[in-house]
A and B are shown apart, each in its own frame.
Chain A
Amino acid sequence: MQYTLLILVLPLLSFIVLGLVDSKWSPKVAGTIGTLVLGIITALSYLTAWEYFSMHQVAGVYEKVIPYNIEWLRFTEFLHINLGILLDPISVMMLVVITTVSFMVNIYSLGYMVNEKGFERYYAFLSLFTFSMLGLVVATNIFQMYIFWELVGVSSYLLIGFYYTKPSAVAAAKKAFIVTRFADLGFLIGILVLSFYSKTFDFGILTSGNPSVFASTVGVSFMGVSVMSWALGLIFIGGAGKSAMFPLQIWLPDAMEGPTPVSALIHAATMVVAGVYLVARLFPLYIVYAPDVLHGIAYVGAFTSLFAAVIAVVQTDIKRVLAFSTISQIGFMMVGLGVSGNGGHEGLGYMASMFHLFTHAMFKALLFLGAGSVIHAVHSNEMNHMGGLRKYMPITNWTFLIACLAIAGIPPFSGFFSKDEILSACYEFSPYMGVTMTIIAGLTAFYMFRLYFNIFWGKEHKHEHTPHESGFAMALPLVFLATVTVFAGFIPFGHFVTSDRANYNIELDTVVASISVLVAACSIALATILYRKESAVPKKLATTFSGLHSAASHRFYIDEVYLFITKKIIFNNISKPLAWFDRHVIDASMNGMAGTTQWFSLKIKSFQSGQVQQYAYVFLLGTLAIALMVIFI
C-alpha cells in the first residue's frame, strides 16, 4: 500500500505551490488545483479503505499495516521521532472521513469563497490543514502525532484568522491557538512522562499490551497519583483542548469567525475530533493502566455535553449554535470512549464513539455547509435576520432537515444508530450516565429544531435582495453529504472498527432505542410548537428563567473567567510586575552599581584638594599606615 504516501504528499505539494505562487495565478486555477488534489487523495483514501478492510484481516482481526516509517529525528537510542504511516481501522476510517469532508468543503468553497480576496491563500491553507490532519491520523508514533497536532493547530489559526483585517477574527484565531496550545502543553508533558517510563514513542509498542513496556512504572507515583494516570491524564488534556472539552471549550465558538466552510471542515468534522481520536488511539493504555482517568474522561465528556447543549438552546448566532452542538456531540463521543471496556461487547462504547465520530462528521459538515449556504444568501449569522427561507432555498432546506433529523437521532438517519450505541454503552456503564445522556440527546433535538425552524420557517424577515439558492458548486456537497447522512447508519460499523480490531455485530438495544427516539420526538414536537410559527412563549420563558437564560447566553461566564485570569492575573499581575521588576529592580541594580561608583567618585573628590601640603599629609599617613600594617600584621 505504498501509494498511501501520496495521500500525504499531494496536499503538501499543493500547499507549497499555492503558497509560493501567491496571487500570481488567477483564483480559479488555484481553486481547481486544490480541489483536484483533494479529489485524487479522496479516491486514494477510498482505495486504501477498500484494500485495507478487504485484505488485511488475519484470523478475524485487522492487522496494523505500516507502509512507511522513517526515522526523522533521533533523541536517544530508543526515543526517536519517526515519520510514517500507520494503517489500522481507525486511521483508515479517519482517512475516509477527512478526505471526504475536505473534498466536499473544497468544492463548496469554489462557490462560497469565489469573491473573497486571497482565494489562493485560502486554498493553500486548506491544503495545509488537510495534510496536517491526515498526518495526524496516520501517525505511527505519539510524537509524530504531536507534530501534526501542532500543524493542525496552526492551520486552524491561519484559517480562523483568514479575514485578518477583522479584529474579531484575529482575536478568535489567537484565542483558539493559545487555548489549544495550552492544552498541548499537557499533551507534551504527558508524552514526556509516558516516554520516560516506556522508552518509546511508538504506538505499536505502546499499545502492544506487553506489560514489560511499562514495567518501570509499577508503584511509581507522583503526588499520590500513579505516573501512568498522570501521563494519560495530561495527554487527555491535550485532547480536551483540541476537542473543546470543558473547561477548554471557549475557543471553539469564537472560531466561527472563520469562513463557514472552514468551520465545517475543521471545527465540526475533523480537527475537533482529534482529541477523541487521540484517546481512541491510546485506548488500550487507558483501559489497562488508568481506568480511573478513562472514567474521568467520561464524566468530563458528559458534563461538557450537557453544558454545551444548554448553551446551544439560547444562542442566536446560527454558527454558534452549531458550534455548541459540536461541543456537545464530541462530548458524546468522549463519553462513549470513557464508558467503554475492551473487546467484544465490552468495547461497545469504543465502537459507538468511532461510529458517532464518523456519522457526526458527515451530518455536522452538512449542517455547517447548509448554514454557510444560508449565510451566503442572507449575509448574516443572526437567527432573527432569517426565517421562512424554505421557499427560496429548497435544497438547503431539505438537506438541513435531514441533518437535523440525523443529529436528533431519528431513525433511519445515521445519527440515530451511532448515538443509540453510545446510549446503550452508557446504560451499561451506569444508569445515571445513560439517563443524563438521553436527556442531552433530547436537548440536542430541541435546539437543532429550534435552529431549523428559526431559519427556514417562522416569520419572514425583510431582505435587501431576495435570497436565492446557491450555485451548483455549493449544492453538490450538500446533496452528497445528505445522501451519506441518510445511509451511513446502515454501515455495519462493528465489522470495521472495534476496540480489539475484531469483528463485532451491532445489535440494536430496542429499549434504549425507543426511549431515546421518544425523547427526541418529544423535543422536536416542543420545538415545533415553540418556533414553527412566531410565538411569544420563548420570550416569556426567557424572562421567566432570566437568570439561567442570560447565564447560558453568556456561556456561563466561562470566557469572562478566562479573561479575568489572562488579562487581570497573568497580564496585569504577573507580566506587568515582572516587566516592572526587570526594569526597576534587576536593571536598576545594574545601573545602581554604576550610580554608586559615580556617587563614590563625587564623594572622594575632596581628597584632590590642590593643596600640596594636604598631599604630603596623605602621603605621610599612607606611609605610616603601611608601616604599621606591615609591622603589626
Chain B
Amino acid sequence: MDYSSFLQMNEEFSLLMVMLFLLIYDIFAGEKGSKYFQPIALVLFAAHTLLNCIPRDAFSIAGGMYQYVPMQTYVKTILNIGTFIVLLQAHKFLNEDANRIKRGEFYFLTLSTLLGMYFMISSGNFLMFFIGLETASIPMATLVAFDKYNRKSAEAGAKYILSAVFASSISLFGMSLIYGSTGTLYFSDLATLITASPLTIMAFVFFSVGLFFKISLVPFHLWTPDVYEGAQTNITSYLSVISKGAAVFVLFTLLTKVFGHLVTQWQPILYGLAVVSITVANVFAIRQQNLKRFLAFSSISQAGYILLAIISGTALGMTSLVYYVLVYMFSNLAAFGVISVIENQTKKVLMSDYNGLYQTNPRLSFVMMLALFSLAGIPPFAGFFSKFFVFSAAAQQGYYVLVFIALLNTIISLYYYLLVIKAMFLNKSENPIEVVKSDFPVKLSFVICTLGILLVGLFSTIYDQIGLLSFGM
C-alpha cells in the first residue's frame, strides 16, 4: 500500500500540524513563551489558510474514501477565513486571566472541529463522513460547555451533546439501512445503486435529518437558540457560521452526487423545510430580546434561504451556495463580533441594552448595521447579491412560489433586523453602553468583515472564480 498518496491531503495535514504544534507549544512554553501563544497561533493559522487556498486537480485516494474536487478548496478556505476571524475575535476573551490557562484547549478544540469538517467535506465514504461529522461535533460540545462555571454554558453543552448524539444516532441508523439496501458505503457506488424503494427512502430520510440537525432547519432546530445563548459568544459565532457552512456544502454534494436518483423525493422535502424554516424562524425571531438568541433564529432562517440554492441542484445553485456561505460568514461574524465585544466588557446582550449605542460606540454600531443590512439582503452590501443569486438559482428551476414565500419572509426578517438598528440608532437611553475598547485583532476582524460585506458583492471575480469550479460538481 502506498501511503505517500495520503500526503495529498494537504489541508488536513497542514491543519493537523498547526494543531499539534500549538498543543505542544502550549504545554511546554514557559511564562514568557505563553505571551506569544496567540500571535503565533494566529500567524500559523493565517499561513495555513494562505498555503491552502489554491485549488488543485481533482483526485481520489484511499480507494475513494477521500475524494477531492477543487471546489472543496474554496469551501475550506472560506471555513478557514471564518475560523480565523473567530479566533481574532476571541483574542481578547482568551487573554483574560480566567481563560488564559484554557486557551490551548480552545485552539485545539476549535481546530479539531475544523479538521472534522475538512474530512466531512472531502469524504467519499459514509464511514469517513461519519467520522468527520463526529469529529466536528464532539469537540464542539466541549467548546459549548467551555465556561464551566457558568450554568448557562453547562446547560447549553448538555443540550448540545444530547441533541447532537440523538441526531447522529438516527443518522447512523439511516446509514446502516442504506448500507443494508445497497451493500456499499462509497459515494461513487451509491450514486448508481440507489433506487427509490421505500426502505432506501426511509434510510435517506433518517440519514439526512442528521445533517438537517447540523444546519439547524426547522423542526430540527430547537437546540439552536438555547445553545447559541448559552455558549460563549465567539463559540456561538463559530457554531453558527463554520459548522453550518460545512454542513450545507456537504448536504448539497451528498444530495446531488449520492442521492441523485432520489431527486423527486428530496426536492419536496427541501421545499417544505425551506418554507417552514424561514417562516418559523422569522416568526420566532421577532420576539427575541436576547441578541444571541435573536441571531440564532436569524441564522436558522438564513439556512432556509440556503436551501433554495440546494434545491436547484445545479451548478448555478452550487456556486450560489458557496457564495452565500461566504457572504453569510462575513455578515454573521461581524454581527456576533460586535455582540461578543460588548458582552465581554459589559455582560449586556439584551436588545434594550443596545439603545443609544450609536452615541457611545459609533463604529461598532456601524459595523453591526452593515452586518444586519447584509443579512437582510440590502444592496449594495454583499448579502443582497448572495440572496439574489440564491433566489435566482431556485427561480431558474421554476420554484417561483418558493422564491416568493422566501421573499415575503425577507420582509419579516428586515423588520427584526431593523429593530436592532432602531435600538442602536433611534432609541435614546438613560445609561447607554459605555465606550467599548477593543484590541487590535478584534479590530482587524471587523475590518476584514466590513471589507467583505462591502466588496464581495461588488467584485464579481469572487463569484466567477467559485463558478468556474462549480461546473465539476
Contact = CB atoms under 8 A, between A and B. Distances in A.
B205 interface: yes
Interface in A573-625: 594, 597-598, 600-602, 604-605, 607-608, 610, 612, 614-616, 618-623
A619 B167 contact: yes
A456 to B, nearest CB: 74
A220 interface: no
B226 interface: yes
A622 B286 contact: no
B219 A631 contact: no
B251 interface: no
A597 B286 contact: yes
A608 B284 contact: yes
A630 B265 contact: yes
Given A612-B158, A612-B163, A622 B209 contact: yes
B202 A631 contact: yes
A415 B225 CA distance: 95
Given A615-B163, A616-B166, A623-B206, A605 B287 contact: yes
Given A626-B269, A627-B202, A631-B201, A600 B283 contact: yes
B283 A627 contact: no
A235 to B, nearest CB: 50
Range of interface residues on A (Cβ < 8 Å): 20 to 34
Contacts of A631: 198, 201-202
Contact of A619 (B219, B225, B273): B219
The main secondary structure of chain A at its interface with chain B is helix
B183 interface: no
B455 interface: no
A610 B220 CA distance: 14
Contacts of B209: 619, 622-623, 626
Q: Which of A594, A608, A622 is packed against the most chain B CB atoms within 10 Å?
A: A622
B223 A602 contact: no
Contacts of A604: 280, 283-284
Nearest to B198: A631
A610 B158 CA distance: 12
Nearest to A621: B219
Interface string B251-276: 00000000000000100110011000
A633 interface: yes
Interface residues of B, number: 33
A622 B220 contact: yes
A627 B163 contact: no
Q: Which of A597, A601, A621, A633 is packed against the most chain B CB atoms within 10 Å?
A: A601
Contacts of A594: 415
B166 A630 contact: no
A594 B174 CA distance: 41
A629 interface: yes
Interface in A468-504: none
A601 B416 CA distance: 12
Contacts of B223: 612, 615
B287 A629 contact: no
A631 B205 CA distance: 10
Nearest to A609: B222
A612 B165 CA distance: 12
Given A597-B412, A619-B167, A621-B219, A627 B286 contact: no
A277 B170 CA distance: 94
A597 B283 contact: yes
Interface string A201-222: 0000000000000000000000
B269 A629 contact: yes
B264 to A, nearest CB: 9
Contacts of B415: 594
A633 B268 contact: yes
The main secondary structure of chain B at its interface with chain A is helix
B175 to A, nearest CB: 14
Contacts of B163: 612, 615-616, 619
A620 to B, nearest CB: 8
Nearest to A619: B220
Interface string B203-245: 0011001000100001110110110000000000000000000
A612 B226 CA distance: 10
Nearest to A614: B222
Contacts of A597: 283, 286, 412
B286 A601 contact: yes
Interface in A536-562: none
Nearest to B204: A630
B205 A605 contact: no
Contacts of B201: 627, 630-631
B202 A607 contact: no
B468 interface: no
A481 B162 CA distance: 108
B292 interface: no
A601 B202 contact: no
Nearest to A600: B283
Interface in B146-160: 158-159
A503 B159 CA distance: 109
Contact of B222 (A619, A629, A633): A619
B219 A601 contact: no
A627 B166 contact: no
B286 A598 contact: yes
Contacts of B198: 631
B213 A619 contact: yes
A614 B162 CA distance: 12
B84 to A, nearest CB: 32
B284 A601 contact: yes
Contact of A627 (B158, B205, B225): B205
A618 B280 CA distance: 14
Nearest to A610: B226
Q: Which of A598, A618, A626 is packed against the most chain B CB atoms within 10 Å?
A: A626
A544 B209 CA distance: 100
Interface string A160-175: 0000000000000000
19 contacts: A598-B287, A601-B284, A604-B283, A605-B284, A607-B222, A612-B158, A612-B162, A614-B222, A615-B163, A619-B163, A621-B219, A623-B205, A623-B206, A626-B205, A627-B201, A629-B269, A630-B265, A630-B269, A633-B268
Given A597-B283, A607-B222, A630-B265, 18 more contacts: A601-B287, A604-B283, A605-B287, A608-B225, A616-B166, A618-B222, A619-B219, A619-B220, A620-B170, A622-B209, A622-B220, A626-B205, A626-B269, A627-B201, A627-B202, A629-B269, A630-B201, A630-B268
